Structure 1
Amino acid sequence: MIRTIIVEDDPMVADLAAGYLERIDGFCLDHIARSGEAGLELLQTCHVDLVLLDVFMPGMDGMELLRIIKSQFFHSDVIMITAAQNREDILKALRLGVADYIVKPFTFERFRESMLQFQEKRRLLLSPEVPMTQDILDRRIFIKKPEGVAGRPKGVDAQTLETVVSVLRKQVAPFSLKDIEQLTGISRISLKKYFDYLMEAGRLGSAKDYGGQGRPVTLYNWLG
């Protein structure tokens, strides 16, 4: 689980972000801090993987806290969620190494895209079985090659991908496309695109099963 805190002085925005985060698998909201000072205290006392950070707050603002995070808490990543749209703040945030910059007001779709992209990059970077080839770096980490939204190939929808991944995570024994078709109601032709994408990303393994009569069946296993 990606342990997350929200640093936001507006209760409505904080609650909205918290509600959105609860709808995405793989994230755990540990705390909501109502000020930069409270956020810093959490960072000093808890293990935090991800900070969802506002800019405009009384006292210590988000930019000041961001500078502290990047100089002292190297294991914590930051995604800005803010109304700040001036070039100076955006440039500062990018130069300090934020993972993403979301402008208020924001939709669930934009929020989810950001979280899933962060989750995928983190998984790739922390998984020793995934080779850090130039192709993986270009298409999954730095996303230099033209692809769909959030680094996905065209035809791979974020919501459908989330549904497929949610089902695959629960599979203990090897499974076929037909098995997942029955569980999701998604056709095998459509599922194949998602399986190919997940295999290329190192999240899905496969092997041929020659045990039955006729053509061998491809069985898959979830790698995480």
Structure 2
Amino acid sequence: MIRVLVVDDQPVVAEGHSLYVRRVPGFEVVGVELDGRSAVERCAIGGVDLVLLDLDMPGMHGLEVARALQTMPDGPDIMVLTATRDVPSMRGAVRSGALHYVIKPFSFATLRAKLLHYASFVAATTGEREVLDQGEIDAALAALRDPAGPQLAKGMSKETMVAVRAAVRSAAGGLSASRVAEIIGASRVTARRYLEHLADTGGCERVPVYGRTGRPELTYRMRMLPAPDA
């Protein structure tokens, strides 16, 4: 049984994550902590294999928690669950030992997939022994990853989604479905379907453009990061 500590400063969110974990075979929740310092103290006691860690918490930021856990002998593994979307935070989490970086909000299916991949990694790396060859190492690391990526709706292709993401990312001010269709060489209906999927899953945001007759035209752009505190 893999023992999980849930760390999130919002009690309702922490409880929701705990309920998800309890639904996955082979995992048990051994505690819930609402701040970083308490999480570090709980892990120092032992009996925790995996920490589901929020980043933006008052007092002790999640990256500080992750670095503290990395200094513990036989410390727990870390999976970041956060609403923080900026690339520096993602890179910081990876450098601090995070095995996964999951954007909130997410579905049960998403967390379940990450946990099961983690369980496969644990199974492949258990025991004090030498690995046979590079292939065994590669297979163990691959167990952490989902080669298919997030689930797409029926009839949607990963290649087209990659193209749509690249198109939206290329224009900071946003693009209409018609313009994206031109860029990727698809119909407007197809482009709009992929853009709506991206918007629904948090990959981009819808921005209405006013000033013309009739209904405002929707454009799609990468989500804007909040301005840093002054």
Q: TM-score range by the shorter chain?
A: 0.5 to 0.7
| Alignment TM-score, normalising by the size of structure 2 | 0.59
RMSD of aligned residue pairs (Cα, Å): 2.6
| Partner deviation per Cα, 1:43-99 (whole Å, 9 max, x = no partner) | 122321100000011111111111101122443100000011111111111112211
Aligned partner of 1:139 in structure 2 is: 139
Instruction: Tell me if 1:7 matches 2:7.
Output: yes
Check the 8 A contact 1:139/1:145 in 2, yes or no.
no
| Alignment TM-score, normalising by the size of structure 1 | 0.61
- Deviation, 1:121, is 0.3
Give the match's secondary structure for 1:59.
coil
Aligned partner of 1:53 in structure 2 is: 53
| AA partner of residue 98 (structure 1) | A
Alpha-carbon distance in structure 2 between the residues aligned to 1:143 and 1:34: 30
Distance 1:146 1:71, change over 3 A: closer
Aligned partner of 1:217 in structure 2 is: none
| Partner deviation per Cα, 1:164-193 (whole Å, 9 max, x = no partner) | xxxxxxxxxxxxxxxxxxxxxxxxxxxxxx
Aligned partner of 1:118 in structure 2 is: 118
Check the 8 A contact 1:6/1:52 in 2, yes or no.
yes
Distance 1:17 1:70, change over 3 A: same
Distance 1:21 1:144, change over 3 A: closer
| Partner deviation per Cα, 1:81-123 (whole Å, 9 max, x = no partner) | 0011111111111112211000100111110111001100011
Distance 1:60 1:116, change over 3 A: same
* Residue correspondences, number: 150
Distance 1:144 1:109, change over 3 A: closer
| AA partner of residue 107 (structure 2) | T
Distance 1:4 1:73, change over 3 A: farther
Instruction: Tell me if 1:20 matches 2:27.
Output: no
Alpha-carbon distance in structure 2 between the residues aligned to 1:86 and 1:149: 20
Alpha-carbon distance in structure 1 between the residues aligned to 2:22 and 2:10: 18
Distance 1:35 1:127, change over 3 A: same
| Partner deviation per Cα, 1:192-213 (whole Å, 9 max, x = no partner) | xxxxxxxxxxxxxxxxxxxxxx
Check the 8 A contact 2:131/2:137 in 1, yes or no.
no
Aligned partner of 2:95 in structure 1 is: 95
Aligned partner of 1:171 in structure 2 is: none
Aligned partner of 1:164 in structure 2 is: none
Give the match's secondary structure for 1:12.
helix
Check the 8 A contact 2:77/2:98 in 1, yes or no.
yes
Aligned partner of 2:33 in structure 1 is: 33
| AA partner of residue 117 (structure 2) | Q
Unaligned runs of 5+ in 1: 151-224
Distance 1:63 1:73, change over 3 A: farther
Unaligned runs of 5+ in 2: 151-230
- Deviation, 1:19, is 0.7
| AA partner of residue 64 (structure 1) | E
Give the match's secondary structure for 1:126.
coil
Alpha-carbon distance in structure 2 between the residues aligned to 1:18 and 1:50: 13
Alpha-carbon distance in structure 2 between the residues aligned to 1:82 and 1:92: 13
